A and B are shown apart, each in its own frame.
Chain A
């Protein structure tokens, strides 16, 4: 029995850390927010050289053919350093979504970091202005809002080919239970419309209108990989918020002593540590289950998303509290993570949607 990262995965994580610590990620983020993509794209290129962009691209298309666990390792670090850009869409979702479609021609250039891709799924497309191609899925596959027994959103028919068959929510309700269902949601090219403002200024969101059809098939695994990456990113952001908070409370003094000596402050931070420590194995497990295609994989992905989101959110609220007013400013870099966490908690399935998916699986599994 062995549960945890391999030495290679630890080394990969450290290599990413070294690169990102040396790079000025904060400036790149701030530039990205203002619409200047060049520092962010330079960073994208450097991470591509370390293999991040090709993680899930098959080896015969110049990718690494790596595992979801490697993906989670990388996204935790991207979250920790607050790297801007459509990472989840391009690196976690696109390879699985586009494999075997007429659009798979882009995968090689995705792997090398030359191309960026965005995917809108029942929401808006992130960073469509830098993406070479933007796609739309007409449904957030497999996730149902509570009490939404109604028909799935528009979209019907589709091919019966292996990928990507988009299954309507009702039919994928029983996560972990095999479903041989007809596809009902469709992958399309998207026509990009107006830009909207996100709570996280580095997330540049665009309305999309579905265009020409690309494929039908099961998009569930691709979206679960996106959700996994988002969970890992949240966990990484939470770790960063905690580290910055610990450093701050050791150095900030009030009443003649560091505020980290006050028990009220200590206890808040101890609770963050506990929450993050128990989210980590859920994220790792979800990655392992996606890799081994375990029947419970979808449910485990949802558990990871809920726990990582809750832990990161607690980390952000606590970070803000222990920093006091300085934390409430945009000027101070902490705001980058506070705002990113708020955005990611709702992205790739809200906590309620993921809890509903878990509950359905638990109740129907017996």
Chain B
């Protein structure tokens, strides 16, 4: 788009990505939450890595291209406009890797980073527990000191990808005596270790998109403590921002979906502005606003700024946008909307947006208290 001027280097990068995707993109794959789909998605990760498009913003030493933030967003725009598959490696690449880069030991970087870039290791995020959702710091799963490491006990739940993943990362209470945020430690663990049981749970779309994980005296060595003992909360919160902010929801997905929505509107033979047309326009405006807002954020970050509680503003926007965009698509499809198909799949997924990555009520609390600086009062906002 002409409004944002890119350097020659950036334009070259865009074209290179576009050409590569045009030649290699497999299009929509079966759901990654099935055995067959998971295998196909891992294969796609391998292909991406072979072209060095798996983690463009990472250092070259770990399979990346040392790309700038701008280039990363450019890549994401091209990726989704090409209609390439969603990424099974997302938890690892977007949520765990930034922490390993920031807080991990050299040995952890060596052990884990490369294997998450090509689908060899797929990760599951194990934060939520049956009793600890919005109030994550109330979690109860424990880590007890033993010789050379720790024993994990307890239960995690709603862990995305866990049914077909290899490893998990999550928080455990390592010091029951400490204050609730203080006594937590961040662990990496093997989902096939002795004492781990994964029970898949079917989501609204009928696939086992997440799972419960039970820990029965699971041994984890000291090598798999990420960040300091007792520093789990601090470390974890640095990924929560990632999840809500740029990393998981790049604007490309919504721009591409908005384009498809306009296309659907046209295919349905509609061109006048009725109430459905208005909703199509609003979805397009919403995606356009998100794209431009993101470029503003990128400009801010590249100038040395950071994204704090504004990540919550972001999350509220993309989750509402995703949902209304897909509701509009179903409205256009009329009676056929109930039939299985890509719009319905994406709609069902969009329904979870206001819940995961911290519910939208919690995000509104964060915006009100940390951005608008309203008084906290007695109702705790919660930080997840």
Contacts and interface: CB of A to CB of B under 8 A. Distances in A.
Contact of B364 (A242, A270, A360): A270
B295 A281 contact: yes
A55 interface: no
Given A285-B3, A358-B281, A4 B272 contact: no
Nearest to B6: A1
A277 B377 CA distance: 25
Given A362-B281, A366-B263, A261 B374 contact: yes
A270 B372 contact: yes
Contacts of B310: 277
B166 interface: no
A355 interface: yes
A4 B372 contact: no
A102 interface: no
A270 B368 contact: yes
A250 interface: yes
A336 to B, nearest CB: 22
A359 to B, nearest CB: 5
Interface stretch (B118-126, B181-189, B211-219, B282-290): B282-290
A314 B262 CA distance: 26
Nearest to B69: A1
B296 interface: yes
A267 B377 contact: no
Contacts of B379: 261, 263
A197 interface: no
A31 to B, nearest CB: 33
Contacts of B199: none
A321 to B, nearest CB: 15
Contacts of A352: 273, 278
Given A266-B365, A267-B364, A366-B263, A306 B374 contact: no
Nearest to A3: B295
A334 interface: no
B316 A303 contact: no
A277 B7 CA distance: 27
Interface residues of B, number: 56
A333 interface: no
A271 B377 CA distance: 19
Interface stretch (A14-22, A40-48, A213-221, A288-296): A288-296
Interface string A253-281: 00001101111011101110110011111
A281 B293 contact: yes
B307 to A, nearest CB: 12
Contacts of A280: 293, 296
Interface string B293-312: 10110111010000000100
Contacts of A250: 374-375
Contacts of A366: 262-263, 266
A267 B2 contact: no
B77 to A, nearest CB: 12
A192 interface: no
B340 interface: no
B50 interface: no
Chain B contact residues, majority secondary structure: helix
Interface string B337-349: 0000000000000
A287 to B, nearest CB: 9
Given A289-B2, A359-B271, A362-B284, A274 B367 contact: yes
Given A1-B4, A3-B298, A4-B296, A273 B367 contact: yes
A128 interface: no
Interface string B245-273: 00000000000000000110110000111
Contacts of B64: none
B10 A359 contact: no
Contacts of A363: 262, 265-266, 271
Interface in A329-354: 352
B277 interface: yes
B293 A278 contact: yes
Interface centre among A294, A295, A300, A363 (most CB of B within 10 A): A363
A246 B369 CA distance: 11
Nearest to B265: A363
B70 interface: yes
Given A4-B299, A363-B266, A266 B374 contact: yes
A193 interface: no
Contact of B372 (A262, A273, A284): A273
Contact of B262 (A271, A284, A295, A362): A362
A57 interface: no
Contacts of B374: 246, 249-250, 260-261, 265-266, 269
B138 interface: no
A286 B378 CA distance: 43
A321 B107 CA distance: 56
A68 to B, nearest CB: 12
A366 B264 CA distance: 12
Given A261-B374, A263-B379, A273-B367, A1 B292 contact: no
A322 B281 CA distance: 30
A269 B70 CA distance: 31
B10 A1 contact: yes
A1 B295 contact: yes
A306 B281 contact: yes
Contacts of B273: 146-147, 352, 355-356, 359
Chain A to chain B: the 10 pairs with minimum beta-carbon distance, closest first: A261-B377, A266-B368, A281-B292, A270-B367, A146-B273, A3-B295, A270-B364, A260-B374, A278-B289, A267-B364
22 contacts: A1-B295, A2-B299, A146-B273, A246-B373, A250-B374, A270-B363, A270-B368, A271-B364, A273-B313, A273-B371, A273-B372, A274-B317, A274-B367, A277-B310, A281-B296, A300-B288, A352-B278, A355-B278, A358-B285, A359-B271, A359-B273, A363-B262
Interface of B: 1-7, 10, 70, 262-263, 265-266, 271-274, 277-278, 280-282, 284-286, 288-290, 292-293, 295-296, 298-300, 302, 310, 313, 316-317, 361, 363-365, 367-369, 371-379
Given A242-B372, A265-B374, A306-B282, 20 more contacts: A1-B302, A2-B5, A3-B295, A3-B296, A250-B375, A261-B378, A266-B365, A270-B316, A270-B364, A273-B313, A274-B316, A274-B317, A280-B296, A281-B292, A282-B285, A284-B296, A355-B278, A355-B281, A358-B285, A360-B271
